[in-house]
Amino acid sequence: MTELSRIVPSEITAEALYRGRRLFLAKAATLLSAGMGPAGAMASEDAISRYEEVTNYNNFYEYSTDKKAVAALAENLQPNPWRLEVKGEVERPRVYDAHAVGRDFGTEERIYRLRCVEGWSAVIPWTGVPLARILKAAGPTSRARYVRFVGPHDPARFYGQRSRRHLWPYVEGLAIEEAMHPLTLLATGMYGGPIANQCGAPVRLVVPWKYGYKSIKSVVSIVLEEARPESFWMRLSPEEYGFYANVDPEVPHPRWSQAREVRLGEMRRRPTLPFNGYAEQVAHLYRGLDLRAMR
């Protein structure tokens, strides 16, 4: 265990924000004790991951491939001000102040499992706006079949973007039905406070039944399109990463099994759940599709 992981939130966080987290986690514990979460999807045995674990082990390739280095590097993120653009196949394109999205559309508290394609996982309490509210306000046209999400591009600040190996900016995509699903969240906060820089401040996507790389961080634009977008990882390694990326313990990654996972802060490996435990809510979206072939 590192020295950072032993520091409690009150020692590194402003008191008001710390108290906000305590209140949020108390409410979350009530949900968990009832075996309930968003849409009844959470199970009572899912303990919330420690804030220090979640914020000190991060994939944020815009900064680094070293998960433990990202927290320090992301101090220069500068999430305020931040513009969030919604455009493409919409009747009412808009540019939002990302910090006002929650006020404009109303936020909800969600406790979601996060499963990384690399085999580790976490349980994180989020605050955010169901993405469907934002998309409906934009008025998708009849040609809007997919949603493309784009991250920031500024190699002067994002050191990892100086790498010639990757094609920047980071891009991800969802089918319109996935984007409109009630579980899909545009997160504006975590643990009762704002999203930490290294976790994707000030707004990020959270799609809990998919591998974590689909939940793009620090979103700058949401683009509705007719054609299926090619994501960052599909461009980089199409033989390993597909468009759907639903959590499936029976479909291995080409280089490792996906049958089990390690929760941050734990040592034991636990079985991975189909659709990350959200099959009852989302499996119908893929009826008739061969997800084994399409990943």
Helix and strand totals (H; E) in the chain: 10, 12
Question: Which H or E run includes 185?
Answer: strand 185-190
Q: What is the pTM of this model?
A: 0.88
Q: Map out the domains of the chain with their CATH numbers.
A: 4-294 (3.90.420.10)
Report pLDDT for 29.
57
Per-residue model confidence (pLDDT) at position 16: 47
* CB contact at 8 A, 24 and 109: yes
What is the C-alpha to C-alpha distance for residues 283 and 235, in angstroms, rounded to an integer?
Answer: 26
Consecutive H or E run containing 130:
strand 120-130
pLDDT of residue 20: 54
The answer to whether the beta carbons of residues 193 and 17 sit under 8 Å apart is yes
Amino acid at position 175, single letter: A
Q: End-to-end distance of the chain based on CA atoms, in angstroms? A: 35
Interatomic CA distance for residues 223 and 147, integer angstroms:
6
* Residue type (1 letter), 71: A
What is the model's pLDDT at position 221? 98
Q: What is the pLDDT of residue 67?
A: 97
Sheet of 221-225: strand order equals 94-97, 83-88, 221-225, 146-150, 171-175
pLDDT tens, per residue, the chain with 295 residues: 332 223 333 333 444 444 455 566 666 655 554 444 554 445 446 899 999 999 999 999 999 999 999 999 999 999 999 999 999 999 999 999 999 999 999 999 999 999 999 999 999 999 999 999 999 999 999 999 999 999 999 999 999 999 888 899 999 999 999 999 999 999 999 999 999 999 999 999 999 999 999 999 999 999 999 999 999 999 999 999 999 999 999 999 999 999 999 999 999 999 999 999 999 999 999 998 876 665 5
Q: How far is CA 236 from CA 31, 167, 194, 241, 258, in A?
A: 40, 8, 31, 9, 20
H or E element: which one contains 51? helix 51-54
* Distance (Å, whole) CA 258 – CA 272: 7
Task: Select from 76, 110, 79, 64 the least CA-distant residue to 219.
Answer: 79
What does the pLDDT read at residue 119?
98
Q: Which residues of 187-218 are buried (b: 16+ CB within 10 A; e: fewer)?
A: bbbbbbbbbbbbbbbbbbbbbbbbbbbbbbbb
